[in-house]
Amino acid sequence: MRVSLAATARGNRLVGEVDGEFRYLSEKDQSLSSLLAECDGRVVPGERADVQSVGSALQPGKIVAIGLNYLDHIAEAGADRPPAPLIFAKFPSTVIGDGDEIRMDSRLAERVDWEVELAAVIGRRARNVEADEALDHVFGYTVGNDVSARDVQFADGQWIRGKNFDTFCPLGSTVVTADEIPDPQSLDLGTRVNGETVQESNTSYMVFSVAEIIAYCSKMFTLEPGDVVLTGTPWGCGEFMEPKRSLKSGDVVEVWVAGVDTITNPVIDLAAEG
C-alpha cells in the first residue's frame, strides 16, 4: 500500500492508494503520526476519497538522522568508518514536500549540499528492541533529502545548525508500506541536479542496516509512531567533488529511491530576493 496525505473536497485527509484508488484511512486523524499511534502501525482502508491533489504525508514528531553510513560516502569524505551509528537530529520545521522550495540564504550559508536518503517511517513504538525484530516496528519507507549547509556544519564542529535551516528536509509524498519492501538493503537510490545525475548507489552499501540503526537508537530513546529515521547518504555530495559544488538559486534537485518515491524541489536564495 502507498499512503499519502491528500487535499480533498472535505479538507486535508489521510488516504491510501489501494488497487489504484485513493481511500480514506481515517475518519478523524489528519496526520500519519496520530493514525499510526491509534492503529499500532497497521492501516485498514476505508471509504474511497475524492482526491484533488497530493501533499507531503509526513508530520514527524522527530527526525533521527545517521551520518557517514555508506562505505562509498565515507571514502569520498576521507573519513573513518564509525564504530557505531553516528546520530544527529533534524527538526520538524525542516520538512517540506514534493515541489516545495528549498529556501537557502547565502548570507548565512554559501555551501548548501544535497543528500539523498532512504527514510524509514516508524509504525509501532520502538524501545529497547533487538535488530532481528526492529523492522517489525517500521510502517513503511519514503525518500528524503538531508539538505546540509556544509560551511556552517563544519565551522560549528557539530551538525545541528547546518542541518536545520527551514526547508532543509524534503520528504516524499508517498510512504510505501513495509510489506512491499521485504529487504530495505537492496534499493537503488540517487540524486539529479538540473537533470544531471550526481548520486547513484544502493542501500546494500550501508555500514549499519535499517534494522541495526533502529535497534541502536531504541536503546537510548523511544521511537514513536510517525517518527522518521534518515539512514544516511551515498557518494556524490557536492562538497566532496573537485571542484566543490553547491546549490544555487534556480537549481532543481530531484531525489529518488527506486520503487518508493521521487521528489523534486526548486532552490531559491533568499538573499537574492532582498
Instruction: Tell me the pLDDT tens digit for each residue of 22-54.
Output: 676 665 555 677 777 766 667 666 666 665 545
Could you identify the residue written with the cell 525518500?
143
Q: Cα angle at 119 between 117 and 120, to 5 degrees?
A: 150
Query: What is the C-alpha to C-alpha distance for residues 69 and 248, in angstroms, rounded to an integer?
Result: 26
At residue 56 the predicted structure's pLDDT band, cuts being 50, 70 and 90, is low
Assign 131 to helix, strand or coil: helix
Nearest to 198 by CA among 147, 237, 143: 237
Query: What is the C-alpha to C-alpha distance for residues 258 and 265, in angstroms, rounded to an integer?
Result: 18
Q: Given the DSSP bridges, would you call strands 112-113 and 148-149 parallel, antiparallel or unpaired?
A: antiparallel
- Say which amino acid occupies 89: A
Specify whether the CB–CB gap between 95 and 56 falls below 8 A. yes
Assign 270 to helix, strand or coil: helix
Q: Is the pLDDT of residue 206 over 80?
A: yes
Please tell me the predicted confidence (pLDDT) of residue 119.
97
Report domain 63-273's class. Answer: alpha beta
**What's the pTM?**
0.89
The average pLDDT across 150-179 equals 92
Query: What is the C-alpha to C-alpha distance for residues 64 and 35, in angstroms, rounded to an integer?
Result: 20
Residue ranges per domain, the chain? 2-55, 63-273
3-class secondary structure per residue, 208-234: CCHHHHHHHHHCCCCECCCCEEECCCC
Nearest to 145 by CA among 113, 176, 123, 122: 113
Q: Give tens-digit pLDDT for 210-250.
A: 999 999 999 999 999 989 999 999 999 999 999 999 999 99
